Amino acid sequence: MKDQENLQALFAPGGDPGQWLTGYLRTRAHLASQGSDFHCDPACTRPGCKNPEMLVPVSIVDLLGAAGQLGEPVATVYRRYYSLGVFPNERNDWIRVVALRLQKPCTFLKNDLCGIYSVRPLPCILFPEYLAAEGKFEAEARKEHFRDYLCFQAPLLLSPERAGIMVRLKQMWTRETLISSFYLFGHGPCYLDFSNLAPELQQRAQELRGPEAAESLAPNVIPQSVLEGFFLEHLARLQPFAGVEEKIAPLQDRRGEAEFLRLLQDDRLLRRLQQGEGDRAIVFRFAKGKLKAKRQSLLPAEYKYY
Ligand code: SF4
């Protein structure tokens, strides 16, 4: 309850942006450990931090927190440790989300310790406890890519208090990512539809996997490196993606930081972005050397009638 009050106070309008951000990050760090019995096994080799296939999305809050801790300009920190990434989104089709991500293997990891632990990205804080809070832990533990993770070798039980904190941290994450996307791209999540590029992507995937690969690969098994390679080669130089560094540079100034933090506190903007997320999403397609955007529903067909 006290934390909830603190959070509300942090989101009150006015005040110094730098102080506000410090308080927000302090609250996040406090919630990261409050009521938690989870600790990384000392024998863990940190596969989640090292594996390039394990994508870690980040928000602009994460970026500002790391820049503050490192004492370096935010644009420099972005270029050195982060990039745009192409994320899967619980769908089995060709639509992906473009968002900020950590470069992998994560260069904040030193001697198997996180160099920015107190301001580490919210996804690093949430993993793996949020899976237990959402009832997904056991199913994820059976997946091949988590086979070497020591934290999946035994069941993970959360107290009701800790499960509630996970919900609160996920709400903070939703706010941070939606507002970050709005700040960078001018709308909510930035979707990319690769379906018209399927033959080329499948060809690239088969070249990578060798001649024994199946004739056609389903969207959900196109390797991440193929999608991101295509994105960097053809799409990253086009707007809105080409303008991301120009958007990040002003965050170094007090005024630019204040402008982003004002957006982060805007509840009406957040509700608007959440409402538009499913049924009026902006989806980009790449054709004839150009990116074209249109609004379309991404809700499963069966949801549209309720
Ligand atoms: S930021 Fe820290 S916890 Fe997150 S992947 Fe990097 S080293 Fe690991």
Written as tens digits, the pLDDT of the chain (306 aa) is 454 445 555 555 556 778 889 999 999 999 999 999 999 999 999 999 999 889 999 999 999 999 999 999 999 999 999 999 999 877 768 899 999 999 999 999 999 999 999 999 999 999 999 999 999 999 999 998 898 899 999 999 999 999 999 999 999 999 999 999 999 999 889 999 999 999 999 888 888 876 555 555 666 678 888 999 999 999 999 999 999 999 999 999 989 999 999 999 999 999 999 887 777 889 999 999 999 999 888 876 544 333
Q: Choose one of 106, 122, 127, 173 to mutate for the ligand 1 pocket test, by most ligand atoms within 8 angstroms of C-beta.
A: 106
Question: Distance between CA atoms of 248 and 92, rounded to whole angstroms?
Answer: 32
Q: pTM for the complete prediction?
A: 0.89
Would you list the domain boundaries of the chain? 2-194+241-293
Instruction: Report in angstroms the alpha-carbon separations of 72 from 78, 118, 180, 244, 296.
Output: 10, 17, 20, 18, 40
Rounded to the nearest whole angstrom, what is the distance from the C-alpha of residue 150 to the centroid of ligand 1?
16
Rounded to the nearest whole angstrom, what is the distance from the C-alpha of residue 68 to the centroid of ligand 1?
16
Contacts of 224 (CB under 8 A, 6+ apart): 52, 53, 55, 86
